[in-house]
Amino acid sequence: MNKTNSRLSSFLSPGKYEVDLPLLYSIFILLFLGLGIMFSGSSITASREFQDPMYFAKKQAAWTVLSIFGFILIANIDYRYYKRYASQLILLSLFLLVLVFIPGLGKSVHTYYGRSFHRWIGIGSFQLQPSEFAKIAIVTYLAAFLVKMNETVHRTYRNYILPGFLVLSVIALIIIEPAFGTTLEIISMIIALIFIDGFPIRKLLFGFISSIPLLMILIYKVGYRKKRIEVWLDPYKYRYDEGHQLVSSFRAFNDGGWFGTNVSTGYSHRYLTYSHTDFVMATYVEDFGYIGFLFLFFLFIFLILRSFMLIRRVNEPFGFLLGVGIISMIGVQILINLFVVTGVFPITGISLPFVSYGGSSLLTVMLSLGILCNITRKENLQV
């Protein structure tokens, strides 16, 4: 048995060092479990819209295969390599974010409230979402910058002008798309990184309080964001239009009970908008109940805690900060999605890692975890 485990662990680094087996197991259990959950949540919608219950599942399976290859490739590249090319990564991210606004390349979606979303680049039958890959670029760039600043003896405000401009430019383009949920993810990740790096809590609180007026403007001066707040505060008032998603999600949790109902036959599968994307957790709970919810939640918690335990043992500054950024990025995404489907947080359009339909999100998560597995190889850990 030990020999089998050793072979599996060394699969990502043949002839060299081992990755952490519990982390590896949790990643692939979530990956394949998520594909099954997504299929269950999408089959009725796929049959209705494309006359093929496997339509979304087949596309997601293709992205899953690509993500596995990407994971294996990235897990075998020394993470220190990204430190040298962090600036190029964020510039590439900016370039891709600009492309979504170019007619013919960018793909937009028009909503019932008259708003257009410019979030995708069309590549044949596939679509890429640059804002997802921007998260990797920002965490890599910021980790490299913080390490550089810690090694700089004489620091002035000029050291922060260009990095600040680049990061804010990425955030601004994502806001313009608009992708407010992704913006919240990135800001949370930045706060986690600079906090871990030793930035004073008092200054963080001051920055947060100072940004509240800007946050209010972003919410109340943009119609759809203001509407989402109103729907969140009283979803049943809007249950026949904008509040339908949230009310249907509540019903799915209620109908699922502790042990769930018949798989893929419930109300949410037939009537819940985004039953296989942002609200896939609602259809999952309707199928498998609170027991199923707790099982999936435990897997997420295990992934985050195991990653954190390993990262704590990384002594190299760039690897440590990059690992913290990746963990916070995935952790915040999980929390926001779960808060949304349970009504704790307004609807943001954030997908659930591993589970929601969406190739760019899945690929980003797997590439990030590939980097994390490389950082936490046994030779990089303190005993």
Residue 13 domain flag? no
CA distances from 330 to 128, 169, 260, 370 (A): 19, 22, 27, 13
Residue 4 domain flag? no
In this predicted structure, what is the pLDDT of residue 222?
A: 58
Residue 8 scores a pLDDT above 60: no
Residues 314-334 have a mean pLDDT of 94
The number of domains in the chain is: 1
Query: Range of 125's domain?
Result: 19-380
Share of the chain above pLDDT 90, in %: 38
Residue 8 domain flag? no
Distance in angstroms (rounded) separating the CA atoms of residues 101 and 265: 39
In this predicted structure, what is the pLDDT of residue 229?
A: 78
Q: What stretches of the chain adopt beta strand conformation (E)? A: 106-110, 116-123, 126-128
Distance in angstroms (rounded) separating the CA atoms of residues 178 and 28: 32
In this predicted structure, what is the pLDDT of residue 14?
A: 44
Residues 339-363 have a mean pLDDT of 89
The better pLDDT of the pair 304, 234 is held by 304
| pTM to 2 decimal places | 0.89
In this predicted structure, what is the pLDDT of residue 333?
A: 94
Query: In a 10 Å sphere around its CB, with 0-12 CB exposed, 13-18 middle and 19+ buried, how is residue 239 labelled?
Result: middle
Residue 1 domain flag? no
The better pLDDT of the pair 341, 105 is held by 341
Residues 32-53 have a mean pLDDT of 88
Using pLDDT thresholds of 50, 70 and 90, give the confidence band for residue 275. confident
Residue 62 domain flag? yes
Residue 33 scores a pLDDT above 50: yes
Backbone torsion region of residue 358, taken as left when φ is above 0, otherwise alpha when ψ lies between -120 and 50, otherwise beta: left
Distance in angstroms (rounded) separating the CA atoms of residues 56 and 42: 7
Residue 125 domain flag? yes
In this predicted structure, what is the pLDDT of residue 9?
A: 57
Residue 170 scores a pLDDT above 50: yes
Which helix or strand (DSSP H or E) is residue 373 part of?
Answer: helix 359-375
Distance in angstroms (rounded) separating the CA atoms of residues 30 and 24: 10
Residue 112 domain flag? yes
In this predicted structure, what is the pLDDT of residue 15?
A: 42
Using pLDDT thresholds of 50, 70 and 90, give the confidence band for residue 356. very high
Residue 220 scores a pLDDT above 70: no
Residue 3 domain flag? no
Largest CA distance in the chain: 65
In this predicted structure, what is the pLDDT of residue 305?
A: 95
In this predicted structure, what is the pLDDT of residue 116?
A: 61
